[in-house]
Structure 1
Amino acid sequence: MGAVMDRRAFLATMAGAAGAAGLVSCHQASGKPAALIHPRRTALAGEAWADADVVVYGATPAGVIAAVSAANLGASAVLIGGWREIQPGGMLAGGLSWTDIRDIDAVGGYARTTMATLAASGGMPGNRYAFDPAVAAPYFRDLLDAAGVPVLWSDGVETVDRTDRAIREIITRSGVRAHGRIFIDASYEGDLMARAGISTRVGREAADRANPYNGYRGSRYELLTRTDPPQKDNILPIDPFADQPSGRLIAGVDAAPNRPVGAADDGVQAYCFRLTMTDRPELRLDLPATAPDGYREADYELLFRDFDRRRRAGQLYGRDWHFARDLVKADEVAPGIYDINNRGTMSLDAVGLNRAYPAADYDARERIWKAHENYIRGWFHAMAHGRDPRIPAGLQRDVRNWGLVRGRHTDCHPADTPGWSPQLYVREARRLDNGLAWSGRDVSDIDGVPPRLPSIVAMASYWQDSHAASRIAVRDERGQWGIVNEGHFMLPAGGKYQRSPLPFELMVPHRDQCTNLMVPFCVAATHQAFSTIRMEPTSMALGEAAGTAAALAVIDRDRVDIQDVDTYRLQQMIVANGGVIQGVTNWELLQRKLKHRLDRLRG
């Protein structure tokens, strides 16, 4: 954390080292002292009111980093907790502790420091990707405290006061008011953006040449494995009908829609909880032996039919398939502690249950949130305590040996129970619609192809990875009925170096709609491209870019619309803090600097 906390001193002394490379530090360009761009103003004036240069909504990792970045550059900043948040850190504090990244060196700055510090504070020795989720919230609290960023917790933004295309104030449902000059919506849902009247998208755009995996996928299932070419079809040979004469489908399976493959729809990636679990008795907090509210064993008929399919294929539980390998993805993030994620035919993803979530009001969202929890609790209960004869006895013993982890996720929402993850894994909700539509082509172009825009401020480094959006009954080529987890694809992105460039414009609304808002998570990307960008290290890198841009926008001499932030100077500051912008070297920044000056002279 010291590398981050020393940033002001670093920027103050970078002029000499940067001068040889053609770089200009922030204080040189502004003519102001290096330590502060302008004097810090008091951020809070009462328990439920805040006035700051930069107001960040959403205590996600991107939100924390955005607020800290702005504050460490001298802007006054305040962080307003989003709906249902009770601690900083979002998914990283909520159980996503097996880091979703291919090349850890694709991120730098605050994001890299965060991942390194979390792994060193409580993880698996030698693993730069994993950490005990218990260390995340304290780390983010320390980061905010050290930067002097106050936090006000809320229960969701209710009203946005906007004048002449600029947000002036936000008011939360609990009456917290925050007035600011620049606003950053770092929430997973994009609520501030939506309530400000900014154009957004929900769902999957139609497939096109730049986004061939957009839209309704039918039985098309693109999955890259290490040894096989991409699979093209995802029909599971499981009877989808509860009653053949009536055509009634089993629970959790819908009829296939009457639309062509590639057509636009409102589907979003399935949600789950990334649970922190263990099979060590001394660490284990047992799941209840009683069924959750609304439990019906028939709701898990698909799971039982999958077990029976394996048996009829000659696959024996304990020899050919296992709970912790085939029914969940269990990654050890600290000794005896695992990050549990979705895997298999019917796992933690509550496929289709989230369809209304992105645009739902808060009360409806609470019901959807709890429905996800009850689905997963019921899924465990069905395997551990269900009476269906198709459940292998060995599986029941194994599932009962797994539980939540003592001492984890104890700081919980009043509606939750200790041990359960406090953050629903909202993989995709609203996305900014500013006309950019950063595409699948943009995140997967071959190496050496210049990006569509030169204003790159961060790099993504992950597969194009979309979870299922629906579960449907379909016929195969022989007319046999089966089941498809529709919408899943996992394909390469970023070329040889596994890095996808992300421009500043990805976060910025159209000028005609708003001039002082940035959105580092719900960005202006297509469904396909967002499947790469949505990972937490990437959103933290975008959060740093947003916080740095916010500080630039409120410099006294350069008070500008956010669309007019000097992206050349922004890139300088990101690189100076160790940020990674692939292909943008110091020499190339010097070239941009010279072109930048020539353009100003000509202008």
Structure 2
Amino acid sequence: MKNIVNLLALVILFSSFGIVPKEEKYDLIVYGGTSSGIIAAYAASKGGLKVAILEPGKHIGGLTTSGLGHVDIGNPETVGGYAREFLKRVGSHYGKTKIQVDMESSVAENVFQQMLKETGVDVYYHSRLLSRRGVVRQGNKIQNLILEDGREFSARIYIDATYEGDLMAQSGVSYTVGREAIKKYNESSAGIQPYKLVRKYNDTQLKEVKQLSDAFPLDYVFSDREQVGDADHRVQAYVYRLCITTNKENQVPFTKPGGYDPQRYANVLTRINRLKLLTLDKALTLYKLPNQKFDVNHMDLVNASWKYAEASYEDRNYIESYHKHYQQGLLYFLSNDEKVPEQLRNDTKRYGYAADEFADNDNWPYMLYVREGRRMIGKYVMRQQDAWDNPHKEDAIAIGSYFMDCHTVQRFITPAGEMLEEGEMKHAPFRPYEISYGAIIPKQKECENLFVSVCMSATHTIYGSLRMEPVFMMTGHAAGAASVLAIRDNLAIQQVDIQQLQKELISQGQILHYTPEDEFYIDKETVTGYVMDDADAILTGHWGHSVSAGPFLMYDYRFVNQSATETAVAVFEPDLPGNGIYEIQIMYSPDQNRSKAVRVVIETDDGEKIVFVDMTQQIESPDYWFSLGTYKFSKVGKPKVIISNQGTGGIVVADGIRFIKK
């Protein structure tokens, strides 16, 4: 309401002087001067478009210039295009000929500024959308944007490159916040994760915590367990990525914030004492940057992030200040509280805020690390399976290669005094995977001139991998290049010629396809016989993915522990080319932690056969296949091969199945 009143006041003021706010017109408007927005603008401007960036804050670059100096890149061979150009320019600043992924925020911002200057992109700072009424639509198109100060901007195409997805949300595009249930997309890591016990409070401690929660309401949640695998509204913890230094000549000391209470850090102290953490780089995570600086991670404030994405601007300011107060207090606590081991206190005092970073913001980063905000439900929804079973896309625009990384989502205290936490997914390696063009565009009936390059169409699980700055730069690059084609051919963005877009992206250095060189990787197209991968199986139970031991067929293999109580089953139902006698072979990666008696059921024309396989044994066959014997099959008999985890004593692998006609 306050914003509307201010806008009306401006309109009245302008009218009294006979002034009407000018509408600025562009080919493309990028809302959000994040790394993704900058690369999008750079690509579009190089393609000949008149481009503007509307940045709500006072600096460009997003998190790359706001403390996240250690860039999580995944496999560097998958990062191409203008994202790679940016990283190479940063490398050049430091006297290197290759890409640089550890950088000072001030250096990153200077490089971004230079790229925009070279291409003539207009940047408007302090340009925030009017809350709730900032987007004017006509039909399924955005006509223009209205800012808080009354200015208006129009373009043929728009890109939402913000971490929150504010433009997307006001544009009437479908989106979600939080975690999907397992059953929504059949993702094994979806929804609420298994709980971990952090500590147990006695009655006196529980009473003290409840009193403390009055002063710090977002720190402490009192609840009970919910069902593992269910959907919820929560997102992973946020943090400010701080820049600190050991250089005394470039140091600002850690100071005590107002309202500081050392009891707020009791759980931190418990962890320090339990794990005997005696240096700051053990208590927190410090990534080394050039010039004696460090990017600080894992100062997460669990629970405080849940309402941020959908919050008003005023409420977001409160949440940001809340995080800042917590982190300032934590550094002061570690360097001054007498309960902290003296060795850790003394080590922490060696550090201070870097005086030459964020100098116009009291040496504090400009942006809170919004690890996950809104997520569009677009033309194609990226999901967990895209990182494992479906890595290739006909409309590929970039490559993702980081593991599915989710920080703690919730920490709460039960009525019984148990502090529980959950949210982290298993950190499993996987093959690089292709990102669909459909993931950065809405359904055409919802909006035909809006790209969403950060809050893209993805589930919570896969977004844990997608949410990395180089990926955002590459999806921004694709959005910028596609804007050029859409405007040139006067098309809705959903109608852009994908092959032409891919040709343009490749010419600009973008990497769309990647096949790893791995001695253990076997492409099923090179194997004779009728071959099925684990991705072709019908799976029940909780199978994990891995590439930790070879050989394996295609991108990975599935594994599960044997269990006498919980059954996980992989069912292979081949569509054999004809009736006859077939030898069945399986592929598995042998290891000493495997089961020596994996139960394999084969349903043949002659009935059910059971074979037990010792997966600790090396396969003698020169091509990695283990024979289960020869069996009679007919197409009407609907043959099956079933691998289960029934039993005890090790890990069961489900990977490749081969049928060779005799």
Q: CA deviation at 1:494?
A: 3.9
Note the alpha carbon deviations across 1:390-424, whole angstroms, 9 max, x for none.
x11111112222111121112x4xxxx32111111
The equivalent of 1:170 in structure 2 is 145
Answering whether residue 333 of structure 2 is matched by residue 333 of structure 1, we say no
* In 1, Cα distance between equivalents of 2:225 and 2:211: 17
Cα pair distance change 1:261/1:504, threshold 3 Å: same
The equivalent of 1:488 in structure 2 is 424
* In 2, Cα distance between equivalents of 1:257 and 1:440: 28
The equivalent of 2:244 in structure 1 is 277
Percentage of identical aligned residues: 28
* In 1, Cα distance between equivalents of 2:147 and 2:108: 26
The equivalent of 2:578 in structure 1 is none
The correspondence for 1:394, drawn from 323, 326, 343, is 343
The equivalent of 2:499 in structure 1 is 568
Answering whether residue 118 of structure 2 is matched by residue 146 of structure 1, we say yes
Q: Considering fraction of residues, name the structure with more strand.
A: 2
Answering whether residue 313 of structure 2 is matched by residue 355 of structure 1, we say no
Q: CA deviation at 1:123?
A: 8.4
Cα pair distance change 1:132/1:178, threshold 3 Å: same
Answering whether residue 386 of structure 2 is matched by residue 442 of structure 1, we say yes
The correspondence for 1:305, drawn from 270, 273, 276, is 270
The equivalent of 1:29 in structure 2 is none
Count how many residue pairs are aligned between Structure 1 and Structure 2: 488
- Secondary structure at the aligned position of 2:182 is classed as coil
The equivalent of 2:397 in structure 1 is 457
Cα pair distance change 1:216/1:361, threshold 3 Å: same
The correspondence for 1:55, drawn from 15, 21, 29, is 29
The equivalent of 1:198 in structure 2 is 173
Answering whether residue 32 of structure 2 is matched by residue 65 of structure 1, we say no
Q: CA deviation at 1:293?
A: 2.6
The equivalent of 1:533 in structure 2 is 466
Q: CA deviation at 1:371?
A: 0.7
The correspondence for 2:478, drawn from 520, 545, 553, is 545
Cα pair distance change 1:362/1:237, threshold 3 Å: closer
Note the alpha carbon deviations across 1:549-602, whole angstroms, 9 max, x for none.
0111101xx1011110111100000000111011599xxxxxxxxxxxxxxxxx
Cα pair distance change 1:179/1:126, threshold 3 Å: closer
Q: CA deviation at 1:474?
A: 6.2
- Secondary structure at the aligned position of 1:78 is classed as strand
TM-score (normalised: structure 1): 0.76
* In 1, Cα distance between equivalents of 2:180 and 2:322: 27
* In 1, Cα distance between equivalents of 2:399 and 2:350: 40
The correspondence for 2:234, drawn from 264, 267, 272, is 267
- The gaps in structure 1 that reach 5 residues or longer are 1-45, 220-233, 343-347, 586-603
Note the alpha carbon deviations across 1:293-322, whole angstroms, 9 max, x for none.
332222112122223434xxxx4x54xxx2
Cα pair distance change 1:331/1:183, threshold 3 Å: same
Answering whether residue 145 of structure 2 is matched by residue 189 of structure 1, we say no
* In 2, Cα distance between equivalents of 1:172 and 1:580: 36
Q: CA deviation at 1:507?
A: 0.7
Note the alpha carbon deviations across 1:519-572, whole angstroms, 9 max, x for none.
0000010000100001000010000000000111101xx101111011110000
The one-letter code sitting in structure 2 at the alignment partner of 1:528 is T
The equivalent of 2:410 in structure 1 is 470
The one-letter code sitting in structure 2 at the alignment partner of 1:235 is L
The one-letter code sitting in structure 2 at the alignment partner of 1:68 is Y
The equivalent of 1:286 in structure 2 is 253
* In 2, Cα distance between equivalents of 1:509 and 1:127: 33
Give the 5 Å matches for 1:239-254: 239=201, 243-244=205-206, 248=210, 252-254=219-221
* In 1, Cα distance between equivalents of 2:471 and 2:254: 33
Contact 2:224 2:414 in 1 (8 A): no
The one-letter code sitting in structure 2 at the alignment partner of 1:581 is L
* In 1, Cα distance between equivalents of 2:207 and 2:252: 45
Contact 2:182 2:229 in 1 (8 A): yes
Contact 1:154 1:173 in 2 (8 A): no
TM-score (normalised: structure 2): 0.70
Cα pair distance change 1:132/1:245, threshold 3 Å: closer
Cα pair distance change 1:136/1:470, threshold 3 Å: same
Cα pair distance change 1:242/1:273, threshold 3 Å: farther
* In 1, Cα distance between equivalents of 2:140 and 2:345: 58
Cα pair distance change 1:458/1:494, threshold 3 Å: farther
* In 2, Cα distance between equivalents of 1:332 and 1:469: 27
- The gaps in structure 2 that reach 5 residues or longer are 1-19, 214-218, 517-662
Contact 1:238 1:309 in 2 (8 A): no
Note the alpha carbon deviations across 1:239-290, whole angstroms, 9 max, x for none.
48653579949753433444210110011011101111112212222122xx
- Secondary structure at the aligned position of 2:265 is classed as helix
Answering whether residue 509 of structure 2 is matched by residue 578 of structure 1, we say yes
Select between 167-176 and 64-73 the one with higher mean Cα deviation: 167-176
- Secondary structure at the aligned position of 2:286 is classed as strand
Cα pair distance change 1:395/1:522, threshold 3 Å: same
The one-letter code sitting in structure 1 at the alignment partner of 2:161 is A
* In 2, Cα distance between equivalents of 1:245 and 1:331: 38
Contact 1:238 1:306 in 2 (8 A): no
Greater C-alpha radius of gyration: 2
Cα pair distance change 1:308/1:494, threshold 3 Å: closer
- Secondary structure at the aligned position of 2:249 is classed as coil
Cα pair distance change 1:584/1:397, threshold 3 Å: closer
* In 1, Cα distance between equivalents of 2:314 and 2:107: 31
The correspondence for 1:405, drawn from 350, 354, 368, is 354
Select between 157-166 and 485-494 the one with higher mean Cα deviation: 485-494
Contact 2:239 2:300 in 1 (8 A): yes
Contact 1:56 1:67 in 2 (8 A): yes
* In 1, Cα distance between equivalents of 2:91 and 2:202: 44
Contact 2:199 2:420 in 1 (8 A): no
The one-letter code sitting in structure 1 at the alignment partner of 2:293 is I
Cα pair distance change 1:283/1:573, threshold 3 Å: same
Contact 2:191 2:228 in 1 (8 A): yes
The correspondence for 2:365, drawn from 421, 425, 428, is 421
Cα pair distance change 1:450/1:215, threshold 3 Å: closer
Higher relative contact order (CA closer than 8 Å, sequence separation 6+) = 1
* In 2, Cα distance between equivalents of 1:255 and 1:441: 34
Select between 121-130 and 540-549 the one with higher mean Cα deviation: 121-130
Cα pair distance change 1:180/1:262, threshold 3 Å: same
Note the alpha carbon deviations across 1:371-404, whole angstroms, 9 max, x for none.
11111011112222234x3x11111112222111
Answering whether residue 70 of structure 2 is matched by residue 103 of structure 1, we say no
Cα pair distance change 1:265/1:125, threshold 3 Å: same
